[in-house]
Structure 1
Amino acid sequence: MKKTIALLAAILTTAAAQAQQNTTITATIKNLPAGEWVYWRSQGDDDRRDSVQTTAGGFTIKTNINRGEADFYVIRIGKSYGDYSMTFYYLDKGNITIKGDGPMFKDAVFTGPQFIKDNNEYTAMLKQAPGLKGQEDLYKQANKLYTEKDSAGLAALEPEMKRMREENENLTKQWLLQHPQSGISASLLSQLNDLPLDEKERIFNKLSPAAKENGPAKRLAHSIRVNKLTGIGSMALDFTQNDTLGKPVSLKNFRGKYVLVDFWASWCHPCREENPNVVAAFNKYNSKNFTVLSVSLDQPNGKEKWLNAIHQDGLTWTHVSDLKFWNNAVAKQYDIRSIPSNLLIDPSGKIIAKDLHGDELEKKLAEVL
């Protein structure tokens, strides 16, 4: 009897261990040295992460991806962000292989279940598209000019980059409508940043239930729901967070004024570059019933950096934050997934504009004030 119980316990223990690791990623990369740390993490709200060490010429990751938890994952070799050190891929359960000649993930090939095959098919389609020929070189040049702060050079490239973004968007939409049951369809749809959310919703509604059982689909469904609540013409959702002195501030306290709810962070370079435009608008219209309420997505240990950035950039208006990074409660309430981002609210509390940047903010304020 004892032997039977022990055998049963061993079987159950083995089954539980196997159930906990339903996904294996096996990488074979030439000349990859042993002893390097490989870090991986999900891009979902659950922020799943772990690390393993390489053996000579590869590494193996074993993890568990439950039903509905498929998502984008970043896999990075080493702590630096050097060339080809990272790969960004949609992963679900199953046995996945990565093979490459190096260095790192350069030209690495993924093989495995249907979602891998679909991703490879989609990527091949884009590479073969005549309208996207030279896209990789174009964006390398743009990144170089951005690093060099060559605004004129970037402006000269913008028309061609815009054309390619539109071509990529059109090809992706076609692929999605032809693959409504693919596990990667919702994830690809979520990456079309320039596509209006109502059009995303139209395509999203055509996807099969199975294609919506993953992290990107859940986030997209959430964005669609929140957009219906916070679209232009909707009444702004009230919130309360502490200011720089720890005192609670509520949006409703600003009723009767035009208020720009500005989402930013001290660590966000585009936000810091945009701040002078917000300062100029504030200085010009502050005496005309306009103000700014900034919501910072700074990190839990970033209060000092937050305060320093406020001082350095001359942001002389009300600031609030819960210092929870991307889990900031107001950012989640309004589904803010990139910064800088903002909402312009009229004296009645109605949202009248979104994401006004550059001279767009000044033009809108001149129109309503």
Structure 2
Amino acid sequence: MKKLVIALIAIAVTASCTKEVTKDYVTLSGKITDKNSDSLMIVTRGFKKVIKVNEDGSFKDTLKVAAGKHTFFDGKEQTTMYLKNGYDVQITLDTKQFDETIIYNGIGADASNYLAKRALMEEESLRDSALFDLDTSGFDKKVDEVTNNFRQLLQATKDLDSTFIANEEKDFEVMKKELVGSFKQKQFLNNLKGQHSPQFVDYENYNGGTTSLDDLKGKYVYIDLWATWCGPCKAEIPYLKEVEMAYHDKNIEFVSISLDQEKDNQKWRDMIEEKELTGVQLIADKDFKSQFIEKYKVMGIPRFILLDPEGKIISASAPRPSDAKLNELFSKLNI
């Protein structure tokens, strides 16, 4: 009997020693070909972890996370991955084809591989501006087709936890709603073509006094809606300067309207001086609540508007200065 008890104790001890203990952290490692930086970052709301990348592109570190989507940023490009404590994920990628080559292996890799495939699908099917050129029936059919493709990809991916799947399903509905909203706005903007533009009156001019849209009649007017806090807006500034220089002696006026709040008036003035901005520099009377802005249904910036010499709308969402289509449009109009 004593031998039996001892044997049972030995079995229990062995079992407890070999029982797998779940880690309360993530192990992240991998190899980057043609690295963009000596470090990479894992970021989500309220969390940031910087990981050193060795000379040969290899890296390894541990981090404690809240389960969810995290941004993987290599200093130049980024992607979304899913992390949860207990995961042990290995990453390989070639920065020359970042999205196309990123592969995850190890414990917990399935969700991140799914997200990488989803990102490629989004780039291929949703970022094509031709989607918004379809008629209503064609647009609805295409959006349903794309949404079903995403669901099929999700269903075909194994080992995803129920919370992740539920959140993805919610994402699909949000995505569909946003696409429909963008389509309706594009239709609204297209329908403005040929109409007289809404007016702005007595907007403060950086050079003194005020300016109204009627003051600019007789010339084409290219309007840049921007703000000092808007990164993409500021990224367009060098291109806008080039366009202004190329057309400085043509029948066109370049007007930049800031949507900064009244309290940031000095910031607006300082940036004009710092960036040596040219053209007509104005600031809207009530930022996004200005009547001119609301009538154009401006939800985000930068936004560019092109008017003809009579003040009629040529494009309520004109090409950006960085887009070669802008010069093509100007040439077509013989500006």
TM-score normalised according to structure 2 size: 0.50
> 1:330 is matched with which residue: 275, 282, 292?
292
1:173 aligns to 2:173 (yes or no): no
In 1, are the aligned partners of 2:204 and 2:211 still within 8 Å (CA)? Answer: yes
Distance 2:97 2:246 in 1: 31
Does residue 1:238 correspond to 2:199, yes or no?
A: yes
Q: How far 1:299 moved relative to its partner?
A: 2.7
Report the number of matched residues: 212
Residue 189 of structure 1 aligns with an amino acid whose one-letter code is K
Corresponding position: 1:107 with 2:49 = no
* Counterpart Cα distance in 2 of 1:327 and 1:303: 16
CA–CA distance in structure 2, aligned partners of residues 277 and 154 of structure 1: 27
- Separation in 2 of the partners of 1:83 and 1:167? 27
**Residue 200 of structure 2 aligns to which amino acid in structure 1?**
F
Change beyond 3 A, Cα 1:189–1:321:
farther
Counterpart CA distance in 2 for 1:262 and 1:343 is 7
SS of the residue 2:272 aligns to: helix
Deviation of the 1:258 alpha carbon = 0.8
Counterpart of 1:360 (choices 313, 321, 325) is: 325
Q: 2:329, 2:195 → 1: CA distance?
A: 18
Give SS of 1:236's match. Answer: coil
Alpha-carbon distance, 1:145 to partner: 0.9
User: Percent identity, aligned pairs only?
Assistant: 21
Unaligned runs of 5+ in 1: 1-30, 32-81, 88-101, 109-135, 148-152, 202-222
Aligned to 2:76: 145
Alignment of 1:275-354 (within 5 A): 275-322=237-284, 324-353=286-315, 354=317
Aligned partner letter, 1:255: K
Letter in 2 for 1:233: G
Q: Secondary structure at the match of 1:234?
A: coil
**Shift, 1:316, TM fit:** 1.9
SS state of the match for residue 243, structure 2? helix
Deviation, structure 1 residue 363: 3.0
Corresponding residue of 2:43: 83
Query: Contact 1:299–1:324 (CA<8 Å) still a contact in 2?
Result: yes
**Aligned counterpart for 2:122 among listed residues 145, 149, 164:** 164
Greater CA drift, 241-250 or 288-297: 241-250
- Choose 1 or 2 for highest CA Rg: 2
**For the residues of structure 2 that align with 1:263 and 1:155, how far apart are their CA atoms?**
34
Amino acid of the structure 1 residue aligned with 2:300 = S
User: Which one of the candidate residues 172, 176, 184 is aligned to 1:189?
Assistant: 176
Residues in 1 aligned to 2:144 and 2:234: alpha-carbon distance in whole angstroms: 34
SS class of match (1:364)? helix
User: Hey, what's the Cα distance between the residues in 1 that align with 2:215 and 2:95?
Assistant: 42
Counterpart residue identity of residue 165, structure 1:
E
Query: 1:253 & 1:158 partners in 2: Cα distance?
Result: 49
Deviations 1:221-258 (A, max 9, x none): xx47853653x333322222332367332212211101
Contact in 2 for aligned 1:259/1:345 (Cα 8 Å) = yes
Distance 1:158 1:285 in 2: 39
- 1:255 alignment counterpart: 217
CA contact (8 A) 2:199 2:212 kept: yes
Q: For the Cα contact (< 8 Å) 2:304–2:318, is it kept in 1? A: yes
The residue number in structure 2 matching 1:127 is: none
Assess, with a 3 A threshold, how the Cα gap between structure 1 residues 103 and 245 changes in structure 2: closer, same or farther.
farther
Deviations 1:44-97 (A, max 9, x none): xxxxxxxxxxxxxxxxxxxxxxxxxxxxxxxxxxxxxx933269xxxxxxxxxx
Alpha-carbon distance in 1 for matches of 2:240, 2:328? 12
CA distance in 1, matches of 2:44, 2:303: 30
Residue matched to 1:41: none
Partners of 1:191 and 1:154 in 2: CA distance: 30
Of 287-296 and 320-329, the range deviating more from structure 2: 320-329
Paired amino acid for 1:84: T
- Cα RMSD (Å): 4.3
Runs of 5+ unmatched residues, structure 2: 1-23, 25-41, 48-62, 79-93, 102-118, 128-140, 149-168
Distance 1:156 1:360 in 2: 26
